[in-house]
Amino acid sequence: MEEKDLKFNILRLLETKGIGFSRFWSIWKILKNKIKDGVFGLGEINKFLKEKEFFDWQSNEEKVYEKWKRLVEDNVNVISFEDDKYPHKLIPLLERKAPPLLMVLGNSELLSKPSVGFCGSRDASPKGLETAYDCAEQLSKKGINIVSGYAHGVDMTTHRAALEAGGTTILVLPEGILNFRIKKELSSIWNWDKILVISEFLPGLPWSVHNAMQRNSIICGLSEAVILIEAKSKGGSIEAGKTCLKLKLPLFAPVYDGMPESAVGNRELLDQGALPLFKSQTSDRANISKILELIDSRASENSPLKTSPISQSNQLSFFGN
C-alpha cells in the first residue's frame, strides 16, 4: 500500500500526541473536503493542529512507516471507516468514540455476521464457565458469531466453545495488534477461516486496564446482544454491562444457584434494565430463543435493537431454580 494512502495518513494522525478518536473526527469533519485521494500534507494539516501536535506530526512519518511495514509483513489488514468491510453501525452507535481504523487478522467477513458478545469474570466459577460455554455453543450451532475479549475465564471459554462447535468467533484485543499471540488454550483448534482478531488501538500499544475497559464498547458495538457472566460489583465485567445498557443494546444476565457471593453485578444490572437469561426445563440448557428472536427482528426490520421486557412462560425458569 502506498505511503500516501488515506489509511496511512489516518494512522499517522492518530499516532500524533494529543490526537485521539474524538479529536480526529473533529479534524476530519473539515479536512475531508479539502483533500484528494486521501493525501493531506503540510498545507492542510497545519491549520488543525496545535504547535506541539504539528511538530510531532511532522517528525513521526518515519516511525509510523516502520509500524506500517510491520503490519504488512504480519498480514494485518487495516480497515478504515470508509471501507465497505468496516462495521458501519459503530459510527452512529459510538459516535466520536468510534475508531477511524480497525486492525484485523483473519476472516474479515465475520464483521458482517450476526453476532452475540460475551463478557464476564476472569475467575468465574465452574457453573459460570459451564453457562458461558453452553450459551456460546448453542448460538454457534445456530450460525451466530461469538464476540469476546480474549481474556482468561469467560472470554476464552466462549471462543473455545464457538470453535469446538464448528462456529466462528471474533477476538477483540485490549492492546495493539502487533502484540497479538495465539494463546495455548486455543492453539490446538485454531482456524483462521473461522477467526477474526481485531484491535481499535495503535498497532504497538501495550495492554492496560484503560484499554481493556475501552474495548468493551467494540464488543458491544459488534454484537446484536451481549451475555454477561458473573460480574462483580466493580471491574471490567460490570462496566461492560453498563456500556451495553448505555448503548441501548440487549444485555442478558443469568442468575443461578451456586453463583459466587462476589458476583453481584448480574443482579445489579437486572435492576438497571438487563434481561434475565432463563433455563429451559425441558432441555436443562440455556434458553436462547429470545436472543435468536432479537437477531431475527433486527435482520427483518434493519433497525437497531431495543431492549424489551421478557415474559416468563411455564417452560422457562431461572438457572438453578
pLDDT at position 48, please? 81
Q: In which band, very low, low, confident or very high, does the pLDDT at 15 lie, cut at 50, 70 and 90?
A: very high
pLDDT at position 251, please? 97
Q: Stretch 68-72: mean pLDDT, rounded? A: 96
Q: Stretch 38-52: mean pLDDT, rounded? A: 73
The count of structural domains within the chain is 2
Instruction: Give DSSP secondary structure letters for 91-133.
Output: HHHHGGGS-SEEEEEE-GGGGGS-EEEEEE-TT--HHHHHHHH
Both 197 and 300 in one domain: the answer is yes
* Within a domain: 271: yes
Q: Residue 40 is part of which domain span?
A: 1-73
pLDDT digits (tens, 9 = 90+) for 130-166: 999 999 999 999 999 999 999 999 999 999 999 999 9
Of the residues 52, 73, 94, the one at which a domain ends:
73
Both 186 and 295 in one domain: the answer is yes
> Is the pTM here over 0.85, yes or no?
yes
* Within a domain: 228: yes
Q: Stretch 255-259: mean pLDDT, rounded? A: 80
Both 193 and 146 in one domain: the answer is yes
Is residue 110 within 8 Å of residue 104, measured between CB atoms?
Answer: no
Both 127 and 251 in one domain: the answer is yes
pLDDT digits (tens, 9 = 90+) for 297-319: 877 765 544 443 333 332 333 34
Both 197 and 294 in one domain: the answer is yes
Q: In which band, very low, low, confident or very high, does the pLDDT at 4 lie, cut at 50, 70 and 90?
A: very low
Question: Could you give the CA distance from residue 252 to residue 235 in angstroms, rounded to a whole number?
Answer: 18
pLDDT at position 42, please? 60
Q: Stretch 202-215: mean pLDDT, rounded? A: 96
Of 2-11, 37-46, 177-186, 204-213, the one with minimum mean pLDDT is 37-46
Both 235 and 126 in one domain: the answer is yes
Q: How many CB atoms lie within 10 A of CB 220?
A: 26
Both 54 and 117 in one domain: the answer is no
pLDDT at position 38, please? 57
Question: Could you give the CA distance from residue 315 to residue 321 in angstroms, rounded to a whole number?
Answer: 12
Both 171 and 271 in one domain: the answer is yes
Q: List the CATH number of the domain containing 161.
A: 3.40.50.450
* Within a domain: 312: yes
Both 156 and 295 in one domain: the answer is yes
pLDDT at position 35, please? 66
Both 8 and 134 in one domain: the answer is no
Both 20 and 119 in one domain: the answer is no
Q: Are strands 115-120 and 225-229 parallel, antiparallel or unpaired?
A: parallel
* Within a domain: 96: no
Both 119 and 202 in one domain: the answer is yes
Q: Between 40 and 88, where is the model more confident?
A: 88
* Within a domain: 123: yes
